[in-house]
Amino acid sequence: MRGKNGVDAIVFRPGRPGDYPAALAIQRRAYAAKEVPLYGSNLPPLLETPKTLAEEIAAGKRLFVGECEGEIVASIRIEELEDGEIHFCRLSVEPARQGRGIGQRLILATEAACPEAKSFVLDCGEQSVENFHIYRKLGYLETGRAFQVPDGPKCLEMRKKKRPD
């Protein structure tokens, strides 16, 4: 459903255990559509299960979702690190809904849901040019740090300092 301004009417909220299967299904479809052509099919986001997601949540990560008319259409995970830093990972938007700003809105809603944060950090595969553009548009800057995912992409770290209220 689209709102009055033509933007998908989506509610962003913390994820619940019942959301895990839908969030993972979207994650698989999103990574298969955008990341597999760049990096191959052995990516960790494609191998996760509701059980492994539940274990991550039990260990302290949090899931946020975007929901439209009762259907999960996007998800992101966060982890609180040291010194007020929040790490974002596994941003996923249903492929049929990509290109509508849902991922950007989910990032912004998740940032707003973390008032304790001093900064936000995320990782992006070095060949994911479209994602780099989106993250830069949201104020994320490359830090110069990089790491190699086993059997996967080289990822570059991006960071955004939280603006004082």
β-pairing verdict for 141-148 and 85-93? unpaired
DSSP state of 164: P
Q: Are 35 and 5 in contact (CB under 8 A)?
A: no
Pick the CATH number of 11-118 from 3.90.1150.10, 3.40.630.30, 3.40.640.10, 1.25.40.10: 3.40.630.30
- Give yes or no for a contact between 119 and 80, defined as CB atoms under 8 angstroms apart: no
pLDDT digits (tens, 9 = 90+) for 38-79: 776 777 788 888 899 999 999 999 999 999 999 999 999 999
Residue 136, H or E segment: helix 129-137
Place of tokens 């707003």: 112
pLDDT in tens, 121-145: 998 887 777 888 899 999 999 998 8
**What is the domain partition of the chain in residue ranges?**
11-118
